[in-house]
């Protein structure tokens, strides 16, 4: 029995044999074209058609969101402009594989330069290019393995097209060598409630297809060749968890009855039915910028009033926390971020960008006040990336001037934690965005796999900052919420409550696990776990300390 470690996502456990995802193909050689152009052009054309047919067949079988992603990829495979470009490259002397590969790369660059939604689709082109070259080479296309037996998928990382086509009936867990807690794999795992471990160094070399492992997301471990007793224990834990998922939906509370409202993170009204069905007691983070990612000009007050009203009207008498536009870095909005910056994560983003275009902020706050007046929801509005008392005073002042009842700040920049007592002098509430708070505390890009180990909200440095905010909130008698991904990790959710969080907000699919875990501890026990985690020397030690 040997053990590999990585960053666990969720809390599930699974025991099964592994299947490895084929490695991506090696790039084509630079060998010059050795066959007539027309014949090679026809060969590429046939390969493109076969790839498109295959993608369309997989789209029909997948259904739902995955169907759209795959159909879009099939369309890209058949784009006549690409075929023309391939021909030009063949005529320029490139071999068929190289001509196809480079034509897709050029198309990808063009889409990336367009930004927004088109740039997001650009990564899907890599998958299409790999499939075309595999056809030309006569080898198996890369992609998720298919099996009649349940299995644990081992991969370098998963692309959107892979995650879209994964057979979730058969896939019990995901393990990736690359990727961090905010990678595509982690997002998929959370949204499907699958246990996953990301960033497991050496896992591809350590395992062969068919080898038995236990994946324990809570511990962040992959146990290779486990003994029988461990497999039986893992199976029992899995059963318990499945039972929790189908337990009746109750309000979020600890074992001693302390209420901890459990809210959902949403990006638009489209996400609301699922959140309500899974028992969300309201919305703890409405990411309004998601509505306008592709827009080239600022949305109007009318358009925004309609979008916000559509969410608020589903929650009469309940809390809905709306974040004003969080533009910049990983979420650029063309109408707010027009200047090139070397370090956009440290640039004019969040509240800074809104302040530089105050009319856009005023319009959004006006639209929110309209939605507040038009519905029965209890609206709270917060700004992203607030750094100190001065910024809080500015934002709260403007929100109140425009008619909002409750105005607060997101805690994502470490300075706000250090100054939390001052911030609570003016803010009605604080909501902690642990994704960015971790990124800035550890100076580790949240999108970069190579620093994923540092991008861990269990880090004692992050926990100590959360404690400062929790204590200041308690002293001020004001609510402290957590709306970053940390709240979706059941064991960490308990620690966050122990540190002073009064409500938690997460992807709706995480609600059942967190609800079940909170019911197992009293407030005193949550505080004791938090205390132990605060004294840890590393994220791994903090996890262990909280569990022991």
- Pick the binder of ligand PEP from 188, 312, 483, 545 (CB under 6 A): 483
How far is residue 500's CA from residue 279's CA, in Å, rounded to a whole number?
Answer: 23
> Phi then psi for 131, rounded to 5 degrees?
-65, -40
Look at residue 484 and give the partner it binds from Mg ion, ligand PEP, none, a contact being a CB closer than 5 to 8 Å depending on partner kind: ligand PEP
- Pick the binder of ligand PEP from 435, 481, 502, 509 (CB under 6 A): 435
Tokens 């069905």 appear where?
A: 277
How far is residue 532's CA from residue 259's CA, in Å, rounded to a whole number?
Answer: 23
Residue 171, beta-bridge partner list: 151
- Pick the binder of ligand PEP from 173, 186, 254, 285 (CB under 6 A): 285
Residue 226 near residue 214, CB atoms below 8 Å: yes
Report the nearest approach of ligand PEP to the CB of residue 287 (Å).
5
Report the nearest approach of ligand PEP to the CB of residue 493 (Å).
14
Report the nearest approach of ligand PEP to the CB of residue 190 (Å).
12
Distance (Å) of CA 186 to CA 55, 120, 198, 203: 24, 17, 7, 17
Query: Stretches 80-88, 154-162, 213-221, 429-437: which one binds ligand PEP (CB under 6 A)?
Result: 429-437
Total of chain residues touching Mg ion, rule CB under 5 A: 3
- Pick the binder of Mg ion from 289, 436, 445, 517 (CB under 5 A): 436
Report the nearest approach of Mg ion to the CB of residue 436 (Å).
4
> Phi then psi for 449, rounded to 5 degrees?
-60, -35
Residue 177 near residue 150, CB atoms below 8 Å: no
Residue 152, beta-bridge partner list: 18, 173
What DSSP character marks residue 216? E
The residues carrying an active-site annotation are 184, 483
Tokens 């959360």 appear where?
A: 466
Q: Does 484 bind ligand PEP (CB under 6 A)?
A: yes
Q: Which is nearer to ligand PEP, 382 or 453 (CB)?
A: 382
Residues 412-431 that bind Mg ion (CB under 5 A): 412
Look at residue 282 and give the partner it binds from ligand PEP, Mg ion, none, a contact being a CB closer than 5 to 8 Å depending on partner kind: none
Look at residue 287 and give the partner it binds from ligand PEP, Mg ion, none, a contact being a CB closer than 5 to 8 Å depending on partner kind: ligand PEP
Residue 282, beta-bridge partner list: 319
Residue 242, beta-bridge partner list: none
- Pick the binder of ligand PEP from 97, 178, 412, 489 (CB under 6 A): 412
- Pick the binder of ligand PEP from 436, 445, 456, 513 (CB under 6 A): 436
Written as six digits, the tokens of 314 are: 């589903």
Residue 315 near residue 283, CB atoms below 8 Å: yes
> Phi then psi for 162, rounded to 5 degrees?
-70, -50
Closest CA to 184 of 538, 1, 449: 449
Query: Stretches 340-348, 423-431, 433-441, 486-494: which one binds Mg ion (CB under 5 A)?
Result: 433-441
Distance (Å) of CA 215 to CA 44, 111, 153, 392, 536: 42, 37, 11, 43, 24
Report the nearest approach of Mg ion to the CB of residue 185 (Å).
20
Q: Does 433 bind Mg ion (CB under 5 A)?
A: yes
Report the nearest approach of Mg ion to the CB of residue 285 (Å).
9
Q: Which is nearer to ligand PEP, 488 or 491 (CB)?
A: 488
Residues in touch with ligand PEP (CB under 6 A): 285, 287, 326, 412, 433-436, 483-484
Residues in touch with Mg ion (CB under 5 A): 412, 433, 436
């Amino acid at each position: 029995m040997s053990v590999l470690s990585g960053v666990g996502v969720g809390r599930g456990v699974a025991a099964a044999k592994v299947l490895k995802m084929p490695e991506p193909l090696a790039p084509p050689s630079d060998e010059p074209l050795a066959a007539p152009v027309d014949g090679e052009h026809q060969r590429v054309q046939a390969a493109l058609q076969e790839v498109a047919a295959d993608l369309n067949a997989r789209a029909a079988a997948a259904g739902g969101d995955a169907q759209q992603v795959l159909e879009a990829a099939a369309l890209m495979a058949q784009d006549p402009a690409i075929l023309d470009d391939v021909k030009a490259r063949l005529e320029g002397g490139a071999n068929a594989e190289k001509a196809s590969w480079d034509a897709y790369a050029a198309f990808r660059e063009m889409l990336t330069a367009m930004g927004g939604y088109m740039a997001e689709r650009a990564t899907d082109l890599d998958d299409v290019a790999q499939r075309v070259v595999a056809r030309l080479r006569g080898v198996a296309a890369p992609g998720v393995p298919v099996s009649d037996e349940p299995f644990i998928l081992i991969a370098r990382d998963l692309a959107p097209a892979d995650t879209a086509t994964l057979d979730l009936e058969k896939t019990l867990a995901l393990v990736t060598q690359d990727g961090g807690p905010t990678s595509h794999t982690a997002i998929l795992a959370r949204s499907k409630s699958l246990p996953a471990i990301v960033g497991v160094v050496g896992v591809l070399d350590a395992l062969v297809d068919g080898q038995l492992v236990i994946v324990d997301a809570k511990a962040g471990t992959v146990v290779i060749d486990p003994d029988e007793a461990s497999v039986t224990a893992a199976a029992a834990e899995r059963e318990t968890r499945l039972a929790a998922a189908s337990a009746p939906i109750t309000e979020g509370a600890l074992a001693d009855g302390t209420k901890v409202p459990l809210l959902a993170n949403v990006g638009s009204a489209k996400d609301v039915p699922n959140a309500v069905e899974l028992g969300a007691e309201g919305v703890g983070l409405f990411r309004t910028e998601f509505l306008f990612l592709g827009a080239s000009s600022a949305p109007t007050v009318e358009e925004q009033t309609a979008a916000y009203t559509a969410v608020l009207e589903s929650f009469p008498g309940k809390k809905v926390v709306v974040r004003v536009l969080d533009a910049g870095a990983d979420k650029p909005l063309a109408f707010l971020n027009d200047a090139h910056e070397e370090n956009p994560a440290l640039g004019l983003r969040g509240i800074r960008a809104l302040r530089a275009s105050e009319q856009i902020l005023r319009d959004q706050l006006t639209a929110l006040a309209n939605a507040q007046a038009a519905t029965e929801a209890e609206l709270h509005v917060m700004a992203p990336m607030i750094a100190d008392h001065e910024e809080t005073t500015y934002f709260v002042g403007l929100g109140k001037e425009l008619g909002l009842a409750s105005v607060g700040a997101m805690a994502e920049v470490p300075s706000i934690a250090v100054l939390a007592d001052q911030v609570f002098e003016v803010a009605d509430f604080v909501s902690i965005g642990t994704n960015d708070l971790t990124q800035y505390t550890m100076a580790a890009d949240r999108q970069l796999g190579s620093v994923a180990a540092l991008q861990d909200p269990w880090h004692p440095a992050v926990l100590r900052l959360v404690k400062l905010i929790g204590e200041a909130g308690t002293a001020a008698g004001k609510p402290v919420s957590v709306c970053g991904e940390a709240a979706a990790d059941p064991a960490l959710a308990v620690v966050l409550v122990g540190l002073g969080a009064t409500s938690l907000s997460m992807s709706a699919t995480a609600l059942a696990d967190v609800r079940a875990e909170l019911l197992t501890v009293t407030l005193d026990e949550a505080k004791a776990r938090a205390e132990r985690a605060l004294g840890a020397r590393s994220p791994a030690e903090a996890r262990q300390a909280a569990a022991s």
